[in-house]
Structure 1
Amino acid sequence: MTVAQPDVSVIIGAYEAMPYLVECLRSVEDQTLDPARIEVIAVDDGSTDGTADYLDEFAERAPMTVTVIHQENSGGPSGPRNVALGKARGRYVFFLDADDRLGTEALERMVAMADEQRTDVVLGKVVGVNRTAPKSMWGKTLPRTDVFSSQIKFTLSAQKLFRHELLTRHGMRFDETLKTGEDALFTLEAYLRADGVSVISDYTCYYLVGRDDGKHVTKSGSYTLRFDSARALMRLIADMVPAGPRRDSLMLRPFLITLLPQFGPGFLTDSEEVRAHKLELAKPLMDAYWHEGVARRLKVNERLRLHLVARGRADLLDDVVQFVKTKKAPTAHLDARAGKAYLAYPHFRDRTAGLPDDWFVPTTRETVTIEAFKATTSVAFPRLRKAARKVLKVRRAA
């Protein structure tokens, strides 16, 4: 007898997932989508805490088809996901982490959206439980969008609904050589290959749970793994998107989210050996991918730090990072003649440093007010107000 194809294959890779797995699986059982339209493929990645037994028990009582695979520990989430993906039969695939949980209507809403809009990827709103979650992409529901005209590049975790045929057609799998950021690589490739992406913002589809034991995978691993992740993501973008503004808009993500944190406050307490190694790892990435098209999209403190990284100027970088750590607002300066505003982070117009003024020009991502200029300049106010408005008008139009 032919078994009907399920609508969605829920893939769960589980390693030492107790007790979080209990709520995770309960959220699958509670789905409003007909159980006959769901299959679960769970891979126990060599757990020793009862995860394996609980998965087997779930398979015996669950109202939907459940396949449990037991294997030796693979060392990361990619292996289990790839194994399960090879077994999936659903029209769609959803990757559910074993310590997270679904909203009750999540699968029903996401499948309906994909079917109605004929989109290849669906993002359901994510909220954090005892941890932060991405927020910028949930402003409104977008029935059909893409990675260039939305904020979805800032959520590259794998917890999305993917059309199975898309993954099969392009032979897409998770990169098992990466120990972090493997989901970002997979998801961004899917965005770029997709015939449309949908965003559901009016219903919480996914609860991203912070573990009390602090063992969530994104919190672990050496800093070198972050550079591996940034390198892979930058290479993917360069390979798939021609040079120009669209590529620059995507490059913003690995520079801002993956690379820049390596040169945040923690850099001040790194050993000299680690600091030198970070700059060494960053150099080929900066040489290959860092240029003005990316830099001008960043805030001054972000751009300034990365420019200094590109030049290997750890001596100047320390002062900037220390200032950023204080969370103080920089002094604002206005060059009335040039009609340009500047934010005076450390080494602004420092002759010995020799940094270009343009590194300190605020972008549209920053708020610069007439009041800030008024408080920090000796130019007469009527003249200042006219010049400042000119600067702000130029910035708003950019």
Structure 2
Amino acid sequence: MTVVTQPDVSVIIGAYEAMPYLVECLASVEAQTIDPARLEVIAVDDGSTDGTGECLEEFAARAPMQVTVIRQKNSGGPSGPRNVGLGKAAGRFVFFLDADDRLGPEALERMVAMADRNGTDVVLGRVEGVNRSAPKSMWGKNLDRADVFTSNIKFTLSAQKLFRRSLLERHGMRFDESLFTGEDALFTLEAYLRADGVSVLSDYTCYYLVGRDDGKHVTKSGSYTLRFDSARALMKLIADMVPAGDKRDLLMVRPFLITLLPQFGPKFLTDSEEVRRHKFELAKPLMDAYWTPGVARRLKVHERLRLHLVAMQRADLLLDVVTFVKAKKQAAAVLEKRGTRLYLIYPHFRSRAAGIPDEMYLADPREARAFEGYREAVANSVPRRALRKARRILRRALPGKRFGAAAA
């Protein structure tokens, strides 16, 4: 009698016109060090005409692990095939693998071990880009248990993570098939927020994000209106799941910075007047509902200033700022409050006609530290001088004891 055991991982591959990248993708699955008996593959050919379906069936015939191939009419986006695969999955975990990307050989074995060791519901494996950029800020070190508020994981919301399937089933989680970009961000952020812990595996490259030579990668295509759809859905999810306050503002930075702000970058200068008006119309309800001082203060000056002008519906002033930003000029600086407040002089600073509040130009400490005068002023500020004096007194009173170095 054959004993059927539950696989550890269901690898779900949604594939559309994926040749020749699919060949290396499947080879990376076949090369996994995890026991093939612990693995199943569910591959969904989304109406390809370039041999993708035939390639998947050839792989299924030779692969050492269980492989299910589903061929369907084109659904128009990645959500449909992922949902079909998720509905067929039997593994304790699922991993969504894009057909033009590939896995590191030990990826699945390491990620499953990390999830089991820490009891976490989501594992992020280190990602590297091949002919394209990849997120970097979250890979500083391994994190056994993290969350979306105390780490940078909110800046990697692609679907290529290991998810505990019971988490997804318990909450009925599926990809939103009405979205044609950003659907993975919505799904992944919800998983982060609902998860009993997230692990970050930084010391091994688990995933290679491959840039296609034909430029057909999904994130590079689509109308600007789709980006607003994505921002709207993500902002609503955050507002629905996180009460108003610092934590919500912290998460809102992501859709404002990554999804909304690029619509008001250099491309805005070449947009037609009609498109500019439409972008402002689409942005207005989002700015009215979700743009807060708590979000604004977490952004750099040029980011905050542009979004403030979007909120104020001032396209005329925004054009000047975007032109300045596109030129990549270093903004001049003004030090005030005994040198401890630094303002960056972007267009319309203290223009009575423009009426933009000074705080829109106030550099946060990260930006301000780049200016030598600010560093010197802060180092010689009253609190710092008092701290150094206290340390000198303590050293004299308690010789031989060590105290923190004086601030530079």
Report the RMSD for the aligned CA atoms in angstroms: 1.7
Letter in 1 for 2:128: V
Q: Give 1:364 shift.
A: 3.2
Letter in 2 for 1:192: L
Structure 1 residues 391 and 92, CA gap change in structure 2 (3 angstroms): farther
- Does residue 356 (structure 1) correspond to residue 357 (structure 2)? The answer is yes
Q: Give 1:270 shift.
A: 0.2
Match of 1:189, SS state, is helix
- Does residue 210 (structure 1) correspond to residue 211 (structure 2)? The answer is yes
Structure 1 residues 388 and 20, CA gap change in structure 2 (3 angstroms): same
| 2:261 alignment partner in structure 1 | 260
Match of 1:139, SS state, is coil
| 2:402 alignment partner in structure 1 | none
Structure 1 residues 250 and 392, CA gap change in structure 2 (3 angstroms): farther
The answer to whether the Cα contact below 8 Å between 1:334 and 1:340 also exists between their aligned partners in 2 is: yes
- Does residue 198 (structure 1) correspond to residue 202 (structure 2)? The answer is no
| 1:377 alignment partner in structure 2 | none
Letter in 2 for 1:234: M
| 2:337 alignment partner in structure 1 | 336
Letter in 2 for 1:315: D
Structure 1 residues 125 and 392, CA gap change in structure 2 (3 angstroms): farther
Q: Give 1:329 shift.
A: 1.0
Choose 343-352 or 86-95, whichever is displaced more: 343-352
- Does residue 122 (structure 1) correspond to residue 126 (structure 2)? The answer is no
Letter in 2 for 1:159: Q
Structure 1 residues 155 and 392, CA gap change in structure 2 (3 angstroms): farther
- Does residue 138 (structure 1) correspond to residue 176 (structure 2)? The answer is no
Structure 1 residues 372 and 264, CA gap change in structure 2 (3 angstroms): farther
| 1:376 alignment partner in structure 2 | none
Q: Work out the CA distance in 2 between the residues paired with 1:63 and 1:369.
A: 55
Q: Give 1:367 shift.
A: 3.8
Match of 1:334, SS state, is strand
Q: Work out the CA distance in 2 between the residues paired with 1:284 and 1:390.
A: 42
In structure 2, list runs of 5 or more residues that go unmatched. Answer: 385-406
Structure 1 residues 389 and 95, CA gap change in structure 2 (3 angstroms): farther
Q: Give 1:339 shift.
A: 4.3
Q: Work out the CA distance in 1 between the residues paired with 2:377 and 2:300.
A: 24
Match of 2:367, SS state, is coil
| 1:99 alignment partner in structure 2 | 100
Match of 1:96, SS state, is strand
Match of 1:366, SS state, is helix
Superposed, 1:202-351 pairs within 5 Å as 202-336=203-337, 339-351=340-352
Match of 1:128, SS state, is strand
Structure 1 residues 27 and 345, CA gap change in structure 2 (3 angstroms): same
Match of 2:283, SS state, is helix
Structure 1 residues 215 and 389, CA gap change in structure 2 (3 angstroms): farther
| TM-score, length of structure 2 as denominator length | 0.92
| TM-score, length of structure 1 as denominator length | 0.94
| 1:37 alignment partner in structure 2 | 38
Q: Give 1:154 shift.
A: 0.1
C-alpha offsets along residues 256-279 of structure 1, whole Å, 9 cap, x if unaligned? 000000000000000000000000
Q: Work out the CA distance in 2 between the residues paired with 1:109 and 1:251.
A: 32
**Higher Cα radius of gyration:** 2
The answer to whether the Cα contact below 8 Å between 2:339 and 2:373 also exists between their aligned partners in 1 is: no
Q: Give 1:340 shift.
A: 1.9
Q: Give 1:316 shift.
A: 0.4
| 1:159 alignment partner in structure 2 | 160
Q: Work out the CA distance in 2 between the residues paired with 1:200 and 1:245.
A: 27
The answer to whether the Cα contact below 8 Å between 1:370 and 1:388 also exists between their aligned partners in 2 is: no
Letter in 2 for 1:53: E
Structure 1 residues 131 and 385, CA gap change in structure 2 (3 angstroms): closer
The answer to whether the Cα contact below 8 Å between 1:144 and 1:199 also exists between their aligned partners in 2 is: yes
Structure 1 residues 151 and 385, CA gap change in structure 2 (3 angstroms): closer
Letter in 2 for 1:232: A
C-alpha offsets along residues 78-103 of structure 1, whole Å, 9 cap, x if unaligned? 00000010000000000000000000
Q: Work out the CA distance in 2 between the residues paired with 1:161 and 1:391.
A: 50
Match of 1:238, SS state, is helix
How much identity, in percent, do the aligned residues show? 77
Match of 1:13, SS state, is strand
In structure 1, list runs of 5 or more residues that go unmatched. Answer: 374-383
The answer to whether the Cα contact below 8 Å between 2:342 and 2:363 also exists between their aligned partners in 1 is: yes
Letter in 1 for 2:126: K
Q: Give 1:7 shift.
A: 0.2
Q: Work out the CA distance in 1 between the residues paired with 2:365 and 2:178.
A: 38
